[in-house]
Amino acid sequence: MMAEERRTQILQRVRSAGRVKVNELAAYFSTSAVTIRNDLNELHQRGLVLRSHGGAVLPDTIHRESPVDERLKAHAAEKRRIGALAATLINDGETIILDSGTTTLEIARQIKNKQGLQIITNGVNIAAELLDAPGVQLFIVGGTVRRESASISGRFTEEMLVEFSADKMFLSGAGCDIDFGVSGGNLEETMVNRAMLSISREIILVADSSKFSRRSMARIVPFSEIDTVISDSSLAEDIQAQLRSLGCSLMLA
């Protein structure tokens, strides 16, 4: 097979599946991994694919950060169901971290009648939502406010978080790629998320099915470190199986 014919077929497979792996392509085409890497590098140079660790993905699977008002409208029904289900995992008297995502905002709306909760957040919108919750003691970390995401981030935010400890963290990354992990579109915010993870006993991902099989710029955490994933019933069965194989408990709303 000529190189250009093989590259055409590789591109077709990327467009069909969204991503490809070097070792799988090498076996399919009965050629070396070096040859496949050269093919992928060539397609990358043409702007047809984006090289990733061990393979390649479609350019539009790299998800860019959207303004918070747009994200509030996207998949709103799924987020409400996920938020309601996630709230059932929160017990009175616990210390909980809610990151600045729009799905975690739905959790905040569901826990106002809980008693003795301590909520740590970097979300300005989440803090505002919980102001009238009498049973909640609210801690909002300091730092630089990002208007795009209604969040607080920066070095001071990370340093403040080190002084806390939490029972559970609810994380809502922008991208959820099984191989790459949970990722975010802003590096400073992902560093805050990592600081939150480091002080949490249990990590719970809340993400609607549209976030899966895509990735954002910066990795937050691999799926092997996540305890529970809460998504919606449209999540593909193969992704469900992969999550369980990685040790994640899976809940569908």
Taken in order of first residue, the domains within the chain and their CATH numbers are: 3-61 (1.10.10.10), 68-252 (3.40.50.1360)
Q: Which pairs with CB-CB distance under 8 Å and at least 24 residues apart come from 233-240?
A: 234/78, 234/209, 235/209, 236/209, 236/212, 239/178, 239/212, 239/213
pLDDT, tens digit, 9 for 90 and up, residues 57-74:
876 555 555 555 555 556
- Of residues 12 and 85, more confidently modeled: 85
**What SS3 class is residue 90?**
coil
What is the overall mean pLDDT for the chain? Answer: 90
Residue with tokens 């070097």, as numbered in its chain: 22
| Contact between residue 221 and residue 182 where contact means Cβ atoms under 8 Å apart | yes
Percentage of residues of the chain with pLDDT beyond 90: 68
Report field, pTM of the whole predicted structure over 0.85: no
Encode 166-208 in three state secondary structure.
Answer: EEEEEECCCEEECCCEEEECCHHHHHHHHHHHHCEEEEEEECC
pLDDT, tens digit, 9 for 90 and up, residues 170-223:
999 889 999 889 999 888 999 999 999 999 999 999 999 989 878 887 899 999
Which pLDDT score is estimated for 5? Answer: 87
Distance CA 250, CA 15 (A): 28
195: closest CA among 104, 92, 122? Answer: 122
118: closest CA among 166, 170, 86? Answer: 166
Distance CA 174, CA 186 (A): 10
